[in-house]
Amino acid sequence: MPAIRWSPFICTSNMSEQRQFLEVIDRDEAEQRFLSALSLQPVGVEIVPLDQALGRILAEDIYSAHNVPSFDRSNYDGYAVRAEDTYGATEEAPCTLELLAETIATAVVPTSAVELGTAMSVATGGMIPRGANAIVMIEQTDVIDGQLMVRKSVNAGFGIAFAGSDITAGESVLRQGDLLTSRETGVLAAIGIAEVPVRVRPRVGIISTGDEIIQPGTVMQPSLVYDSNARILADAVTELGGQPVELGIVQDDAEQLQQMLADAIDVCDVVLLSGGTSKGEGDISYKVVASLDDPGIVAHGVALKPGKPICLAATRQKPVVILPGFPTSAIFTFHEFVAPVIRLLAGSSRQDQTKVDARMAVRVRSEIGRTEFLLVGLVHGLHDDLVAYPMGKGSGSVTTFSHADGFITIDRHHEILDEDQHVPVTLLGKQLPIADLVAIGSHCVGLDLILSRLQKEGIRSKLMTVGSTGGVEAARRGECDIAGVHLLNPAGDTYNEHLLDDSLHLVKGYRRTQGILFRKGDERFSGRSVDEILSLATSDPGMHMVNRNQGSGTRILIDRLLAEFDGTPTGYSFQSKSHHAVASSVAHGSADWGIAIQGVVTPELDFIEIANEEFDFIIPADRLKYPAVQAFLQTLEDDSTRQDLISQGFQLDR
């Protein structure tokens, strides 16, 4: 589109020069012209110390190099025991165990193991010795002549925080685009991260214009107005991940404003001017901006209510925007046109993350032909939903603006919003990190890959790994958007289709290989068949396994395999929440073997294939058309996603 130019600094009162709007265009056309003239790539990446990362946008996916906790840890002062040695113990009939001489304090690695009929003293936070699978609390015991009297039985796993039960080595803990709050910085500290890759904050220059504008704190005089816009805009920029550069107030002096604007364009990524965009003779901002080229002004006058006088321009692919002087008009147009640009430059997403769904409390009429902004207050309804009450339509009311929680954008084609109609509300000055997509079910590194790609596209996700069975139940109850599953039909050789009913829809995903993981060079496993290994594991108490959580598809596979053998392997009660956790336990020696997918095999591990299974996605039928679900499905089908899945060892049938 060719540059739109005026001759700058012409101040005449004739009618031709009073036509200072080129054309009043609709909102979508204005946005298209504006965005097409800009470079919307993130400004850059910088490494900052962890103590300076709060409030920044993460620039890369973060994977843990360590387990959290990094070892099997006692939750109590007490004694490490084999749970089966305590069965039947009561106050009246305690069981007696030989108390070993070694005592495990914190930061001490045990040198001996707990064998049949023995126990070892361990402090809270102490490392669990090999052979033990539970803790008896000290208050439930007595020591008499070197013998431990246990007065209460415990189950396997009681009192132990297993290695990787919180975070496992290799696990994706944070994703590119995440806002780093105290929650995220705590996670980074827990996995030992000292320096963090974050997006450079885009610099946003803010210039206030007008003879009537004065700084807060100065003496008020008749006909003057305190500059509230600069404060609102600066703090809004900070909330969006930008760095505001407050350049001060310029009186109605064209040469001074022109110089300040040129300096701002040199050092800033975005420049905002407040005021001086209407058609009055004294409004000079638009005249100064009109001197810009490449392309210069792309829209001056947009069908908005309020906010019609907004002026959108660009030079050197940088946005230069003149916002209306009235506070509510300024913030409406800022959120509509500028905020998405700052998000992208800051490495976040164009999508507004400060929107909530609400129900209209009353019927509202609008004006056909102009996009309208309506301030609302939010209250909780009877069903704990949000209800939106209109707060008035004045563009200059600071009081109304300060009492509002957000605003509704009414499309130019709509004349009426009905009572109880659901509407999206853009929050003012508040961040609610609401997940766009909730996934509950089985863990898979392939699913991690897909969700990471969605995050880069601005689709925030929440993943809870509760196993395939739990995922199906969550989908059936409507608690999630997607459930990852890999359950074999007990009556046949098909996967996942037997889980469906009229409320659920199955989307085929990919195939993956499950197998036995063990450390390279372990002759108990090398060269043996699956049946030979399982037979040995169920008869040799020295072969420690790491199991998966109940309800997971892998646990169901394990139990089906073990049903053909007598007894259960040592360590059967040790449950891990993910395939990464299984691989980590075996690699670090806390277990000798486990069953997991081939995609988590590390160089120090070997793998013996058991089954090639299907990992699919179950979606509640009434959510298939949700935008985030559609984005998930499109990403799943994307050629680059498919290539990445194949490179990680997954197979695709189509």
* Residue 95, domain CATH: 2.170.190.11
Closest CA to 31 of 339, 352, 395: 339
Residues 371 and 326 in one domain: no
> 117 — alpha (psi -120 to 50), left (phi > 0) or beta?
left
pLDDT number for residue 644: 93
Cβ contact 512:449 at 8 Å: no
Instruction: Assess if residue 390 is contained within a domain.
Output: yes
Query: Distance (Å, rounded) from C-alpha 79 to C-alpha 102?
Result: 11
Is there a contact between 147 and 129 (Cβ–Cβ < 8 Å)? no
Joined together, the tokens standing for residue 359 give 């129900």
| Average pLDDT for 631-651 | 93
DSSP 180-238: --HHHHHHHHHTT--EEEEEPPPEEEEEEE-TTEE-TTSPP-TT-EE--HHHHHHHHHH
User: What pLDDT is attached to residue 654?
Assistant: 61
Please count the other Cβ atoms lying within 10 Å of the Cβ belonging to residue 180: 20
- Whole-number Å distance between alpha carbons of 182 and 43: 24
Q: Look at 48-57, 323-332, 376-385 and tell me which has the smallest mean pLDDT.
A: 376-385
Per-residue pLDDT band for 328 (boundaries 50, 70, 90) equals: confident
Do 514 and 593 belong together in one domain?
yes
Clarify whether residues 269 and 399 are in a common domain: no
pLDDT of residue 390: 78
Confidence of residue 19 (pLDDT cuts 50, 70, 90): very low
Query: Which amino acid makes up residue 624?
Result: L
Q: Is residue 3 part of a domain?
A: no
pLDDT at 384: 65
Question: Are 284 and 364 within one domain?
Answer: no
Mean pLDDT of 487-516: 91
Give strand pairing partners of 485: 616
Q: What are the tokens at 405?
A: 């929680």
Higher pLDDT, 369 or 91: 91
Q: Tell me 430's DSSP state.
A: -
What is the band of 113 on the pLDDT scale with cuts at 50, 70, 90? very high
Closest CA to 437 of 458, 406, 410: 458
Q: Which two tokens stand for residue 245?
A: 């550069």
pLDDT value of position 350: 66
| Per-residue model confidence as pLDDT tens digits over 222-235 | 888 888 889 989 99
Does residue 317 share a domain with residue 239?
yes
- Predicted confidence at residue 474, as pLDDT, reads 83
Arithmetic mean of pLDDT, 137-150: 96
Residues contacting residue 129 through CB under 8 Å, at least 6 positions apart: 80, 102, 104, 110, 112, 113, 114, 120, 122
Residue 222 in any domain: the answer is no
617 contact partners, CB below 8 Å, separation of at least 6: 482, 483, 484, 485, 506, 507, 509, 632, 636
Please tell me the total count of domains within the chain: 5
Could you tell me if 418 and 320 lie in one domain? Answer: no
Domain identity same for 147 and 176: no
Domain CATH for 61: 3.90.105.10
Determine, yes or no, domain membership for 530. yes
Give CA–CA dist 62/46, Å, rounded.
15
Residue 271: which of 308, 300, 242, 251 has the closest Cα?
A: 242
pLDDT value of residue 473: 86
**Angle between helices 639-647 and 627-637 in degrees, nearest 10:** 60
Mean pLDDT on 293-321:
90
- List C-alpha distances in Å: 365 to 301, 332, 358, 490: 23, 19, 17, 58
Amino acid at 337: F
Residue 652 shares a structural domain with residue 554: yes
Q: Is residue 590 part of a domain?
A: yes
Q: Work out whether strand 134-137 and strand 141-144 pair parallel, antiparallel, or are unpaired.
A: unpaired
Best CA proximity match to 124, nearest among 148, 150, 160 = 160
Range of the domain at 326: 15-42+231-345
CB atoms within 10 A of CB 500: 14
Question: What's the pLDDT score for residue 283?
Answer: 65
Residue 638 inside a domain? The answer is yes
Average pLDDT score, the chain: 86
Return d(Cα 208, Cα 272) in angstroms, integer: 8
559-574 average pLDDT score: 90
Q: pTM for the complete prediction?
A: 0.69
* Rounded distance between C-alpha atoms, residue 453 and residue 442, angstroms: 19
478 and 378, same structural domain? no
Model pLDDT, residue 322: 94
User: Domain check: are 444 and 369 in the same one?
Assistant: no
Q: How many residues does the chain have?
A: 654
Eight-state DSSP code of residue 601: -
| Same-domain pairing of 294 and 411 | no
Q: Using CA atoms, how far apart are residues 259 and 261, in angstroms rounded to an integer?
A: 5
Q: State residue 13's pLDDT score.
A: 34
Q: Is the pLDDT of residue 495 over 70?
A: yes
Residue 116 tokens read as 């049949």
E strand or H helix at 642, and its extent? helix 639-647
pLDDT tens for each residue of 523-552: 999 999 999 999 999 999 999 999 998 878
CATH code of 240's domain:
3.40.980.10
Using CA atoms, how far apart are residues 264 and 167, in angstroms rounded to an integer?
Answer: 46
The lowest-confidence range among 228-232, 262-266, 427-431 is 427-431
Q: Return the pLDDT at 395.
A: 47
Alpha-carbon span 542 to 532, nearest angstrom: 16
pLDDT score recorded for residue 648? 85
CB 141 within 8 A of CB 149: yes
Q: Is 282 helix (H, G, I), strand (E, B) or coil?
A: coil
Contact between residue 635 and residue 506 where contact means Cβ atoms under 8 Å apart: no
pLDDT tens track for 358-408: 888 878 888 788 888 888 877 665 566 777 877 754 544 554 565 577 888
Residue 103 has pLDDT above 60, yes or no: yes
What percentage of residues in the chain have a pLDDT greater than 90? 51
Three-class HEC string of 382-418: CCCCEEEEECCCCCCCHHHHHHCCEEEEECCCCCEEC
Do 420 and 322 lie in one domain? The reply is: no
- Domain boundary (319, 345, 371) is at 345
Residue 67: pLDDT over 60: yes
Q: Which of 393, 427, 461 is the last residue of a domain?
A: 427
Share of the chain above pLDDT 70, in %: 91
What confidence tens digit (pLDDT) does each residue in 574-614 have?
Answer: 888 788 889 988 988 889 999 999 988 999 999 999 989 99
Task: Determine, yes or no, domain membership for 7.
Answer: no
| C-alpha closest to that of 482 among 506, 502, 501 | 506
Q: Mind listing the pLDDT tens digit for each residue in 176-192?
A: 988 898 889 999 999 99
| pLDDT over threshold 50, residue 134 | yes
Q: What is the CATH number of the domain that holds 616?
A: 3.40.190.290
Which candidate, 79, 73, 74, 82, places its Cα nearest to that of 121? Answer: 79
Q: In 3D, which of 73, 63, 76, 69 has the Cα closest to residue 165?
A: 69
Domain end (from 161, 185, 218): 161
User: How many CB atoms sit inside 10 A of residue 44's CB?
Assistant: 12
Q: For 80, list phi and psi in degrees, rounded to 5.
A: -80, 125
- CA gap 427, 259 in Å, rounded: 35
Calculate the dihedral angle through the C-alpha atoms of 180, 185, 188, 192, rounding to the nearest 10 degrees.
150
pLDDT at 379: 65
Residue 417 sits in a domain whose CATH number is 2.40.340.10
Residue 122's H or E segment, with its range, is strand 118-122
Crossing angle of helices 639-647 and 445-456, in 10° steps, is: 150
The reported pLDDT for the residue numbered 3 is 36
Q: What pLDDT, on a 0 to 100 scale, did the predictor assign at position 370? A: 82
Q: Is residue 365 part of a domain?
A: yes
Cα-flanking dihedrals φ and ψ of residue 72, to 5°?
-70, 120
Mean pLDDT value of segment 262-279 = 85
pLDDT, mean of residues 246-257: 89
